[in-house]
Structure 1
Amino acid sequence: MGLLDTLRTVLGTNAEADATRDADPEDLFGMSTAYVTMEADLGFRSVGAAALCFSGVDSTDFAETVGDVEAILRAGEEETGTAFDIREDSHGWEWVVLRDDDPEDLVTSIHFAADEFIERGYGSRILAAVFGFERAGDDGSDGADSAYWIYSFRRGAYYPFAPQPGKERNQRLEFKLESVLDGELGLEDDESYWYPMWPDRDGGHPWE
């Protein structure tokens, strides 16, 4: 089974069949307080970006839906300064990528985008929302540790992902994140669904 097939299985059909609760876009607002906890308790700050991952459909209606998502985000960009672009990665997944130094604006924009897909009947095409964090090293350098909170729309829950170079995971950090944010976010308690969303290059983000 290839990477794309595995992702389809874990974040896709099997995850939906095994889901213990329905996804709720309102869950995304839990990240607003999680940003504060991540920085205050763990020293992680936002990377100034977040993204919504979805699987496209070859239809005119879906293309119009994506156009409506763009229109909503463009209006938000004028109001809050949240920049965005929509791209496809090397695995064939599509991403709405948002950039803003204000984490609240990122959460709100992710919610707007997800809600539009759902309202148009394409909620099943949304795979995950991904929020990025970084922690300075002991020498003060940026990006010594990277971590992500991933919200699986098929499972209706968050899980941590801490990638390291060479497609290794910092599991000790992931369990630390779980212990600190447990109770603040609705967490995935089945670790088999903590699926890694690897970036295409070391030091990159999953949406790049």
Structure 2
Amino acid sequence: MGLLDGLRAVLGLRAERDAKRDADPDDLFGMSTAYITMEAELGYEAMAEGALCFSGVDSHQFREAVDEVEAILEAGREETGTDFTVTEDDHGYHWVVLEDDDPEDLITSMHFAADTFVEHGYGSRLLAAVFGYRNEDGPAYWIYSFRRGAFYPFVPRPGRERDSSTEFTLEATLDGELEIERDKEYWYPLWPSEGGTRPWE
């Protein structure tokens, strides 16, 4: 199974089949307290970056939905200071990439974007929301699977290795604060494209 097939299976079709409930963009607000715990208890600082991953549809209506997402984020840029870009990775997945030094504004903007897709009837195209953190050992991410309605940690290391020990520590620390994915088969790694350093690159 290739990388593209794996992502589709774990965050897409199979996750939808095995979904416990309809995913709710309001779940993203769980990060509003989680980022404080990440810093206070684990020494992680928010990266001031996050991204929303979605699969596209070749239709005029879907393009209009994406345009409205961009318009909403553009309108909020002056108030929140959240910068954004919409990109496509090497695997054909689309990303709304957000940058903001204020984690609360970042989370709010992510919610606005996700909620707009849902309101347009394209909630099923949402795959994941990714929140970045960093400490002296490197990056760590919390990934929210929309199909599963749950978060899981992803701690990449050089050579496309994962720091499973740290992932389990993150799970134990944030359990009860975030809705954690219990089935670790769904803890899918979001590796960047060749030459990238972030899951959305």
Task: Identify the TM-score tier after normalising by the shorter chain.
Answer: over 0.9
1:28 equivalent in alignment to 2:60: no
Q: State the match for 1:198 in structure 2.
A: 191
Contact 1:82 1:99 (C-alpha < 8 Å) held by counterparts:
yes
Q: State the match for 2:48 in structure 1.
A: 48
Percentage of pairs with the same residue: 67
Q: State the match for 1:140 in structure 2.
A: none
Residue range with higher mean Cα deviation, 180-189 or 75-84: 75-84
Q: State the match for 1:128 in structure 2.
A: 128
* Cα offsets for 1:11-50 (capped at 9, x unmatched): 0111111112221111100001000000000000111100
Contact 1:127 1:152 (C-alpha < 8 Å) held by counterparts:
yes
Structure 1 residues 1-150: aligned runs within 5 Å? 1-136=1-136, 144-150=137-143
Contact 1:165 1:203 (C-alpha < 8 Å) held by counterparts:
no
Q: State the match for 2:175 in structure 1.
A: 182
Q: CA deviation at 1:199?
A: 1.4
Q: Which amino acid aligns with 2:82?
A: T
Q: State the match for 2:155 in structure 1.
A: 162
Q: Which amino acid aligns with 1:113?
A: A
> What is the alpha-carbon distance in structure 2 between the residues aligned to residue 122 and residue 81 of structure 1?
26
* Cα offsets for 1:95-148 (capped at 9, x unmatched): 000000000011000000000000000000000000000002xxxxxxx32100
**TM-score, normalized by length of structure 1?**
0.95
**TM-score, normalized by length of structure 2?**
0.98
Q: Which amino acid aligns with 1:27?
A: D
> What is the alpha-carbon distance in structure 2 between the residues aligned to residue 73 and residue 81 of structure 1?
10
> What is the alpha-carbon distance in structure 1 between the residues aligned to residue 124 and residue 90 of structure 2?
21
> What is the alpha-carbon distance in structure 2 between the residues aligned to residue 56 and residue 22 of structure 1?
20
> What is the alpha-carbon distance in structure 2 between the residues aligned to residue 200 and residue 52 of structure 1?
16
* Cα offsets for 1:143-182 (capped at 9, x unmatched): x321000000000000000001111000000000000000
Q: CA deviation at 1:203?
A: 7.2
* SS at structure 2 position matched to 1:12: helix
Residue range with higher mean Cα deviation, 42-51 or 16-25: 16-25
Q: Which consecutive residues of structure 1, in runs of 5 or more, have no partner in the other structure?
A: 137-143
Q: Which consecutive residues of structure 2, in runs of 5 or more, have no partner in the other structure?
A: none
* SS at structure 2 position matched to 1:96: strand
Q: CA deviation at 1:201?
A: 4.8
> What is the alpha-carbon distance in structure 2 between the residues aligned to residue 167 and residue 92 of structure 1?
20
Q: Which amino acid aligns with 1:177?
A: L
> What is the alpha-carbon distance in structure 2 between the residues aligned to residue 182 and residue 201 of structure 1?
33
> What is the alpha-carbon distance in structure 2 between the residues aligned to residue 108 and residue 73 of structure 1?
10
RMSD (Å), alpha carbons? 1.0
